[in-house]
Structure 1
Amino acid sequence: MSKFARVFVMTLAVSLMGFSSLGYANPVEEEPSAFAMTADALFARPVLLATTIVGGAVYVVSLPFSLLGGNAKEAGETLFLGPAEATFVRCLGCTQSGRKQDTVANTQ
């Protein structure tokens, strides 16, 4: 595996670990239907995962320019963190990011 691939995978892993705790701050009180869950699992999540991967790659490529421009944090939030949160910190079929309320109550 190339050095770039190792760095990218490590960055992705650290980000995902960080997102596991973000969901507790924003409990979701939605009741998605079976159709919403199926559509989310088959269509939305794969598209959001691809968006997260492409956004991460674009962020890495644009990082020198965003550092010079002083907006590296905003670029990272827009290109990588936003799609990653929508992909990984959202209940299946829900429209808002966060964990289900009963899941948050059981873990505390």
Structure 2
Amino acid sequence: MNLFRSTAVVLALTTGLLALPAQAEVMQQNTSGDPMYTANAPKGYAMIGDLLIARPLLIGATAIGAVAFVVSLPFTALGGNVAEAGEALVVEPGKSAFVRCLGCTTTGYKRD
């Protein structure tokens, strides 16, 4: 029963923390007000929270997503959507964990 409670708490916290960047996207503008110079400048508490809470959870989500991708690989190969599954399960959490700036809500790495 203790394992079940621990798993439920971790799942609830992870879900809540992964939903925060979607709700808390705040952009600060410079004094000129020119949108060309708009920068994502996170506060210190956002950086600390990101470092201590969000990054370890995102690294865990990347590892769990990699395991889920390998387990689902036969089914996604039959369905023809291996690339989409890899993108959703491994690449997206990995980009959020390793490429995003500390405290930022969006990834700074754009490869088009």
TM-score range, shorter chain: 0.5 to 0.7
| Cα distance per residue 1:39-59 (max 9 Å; x no partner) | 000000000000000000100
CA distance in 2, matches of 1:67, 1:95: 32
Residues 54-69 of structure 1 aligned to structure 2 (within 5 Å): 54-69=64-79
Structure 2 residue aligned with 1:43, among 31, 53, 65?
53
- 2-side partners of 1:64 and 1:29: how far apart? 43
**Structure 1 partner of 2:39:** 29
Number of aligned positions between the proteins: 72
Q: Structure 1: which 5+ runs fail to align?
A: 1-27, 100-108
Post-superposition offset of 1:29: 2.8
Structure of greater relative contact order (alpha carbons < 8 Å, 6+ residues apart): 1
Q: Which amino acid aligns with 1:73?
A: A
| Number of the residue aligned with 1:87 | 97
Identity percentage of aligned residues: 50
CA shift, 1:98, in A, is 1.1
More helix by share: 1
Which has the greater radius of gyration?
A: 2
Structure 2: distance between partners of 1:57 and 1:37: 29
TM-score (norm: length of structure 2): 0.62
Q: Which segments of 5 or more consecutive residues in structure 2 lack a partner in the other structure?
A: 1-37
Q: Deviations over 1:47-83 (max 9, x none)?
A: 0000000000100111011000001000000000000
User: CA-to-partner distance for each residue in 1:75-101, whole Å, 9 max, x for gaps?
Assistant: 0000000000000110000001016xx
CA RMSD, aligned part only? Answer: 1.4
| Cα distance in 2, alignment partners of residues 74 and 88 from structure 1 | 20
3-state SS, counterpart of residue 41 of structure 2: coil
Letter in 1 for 2:46: A
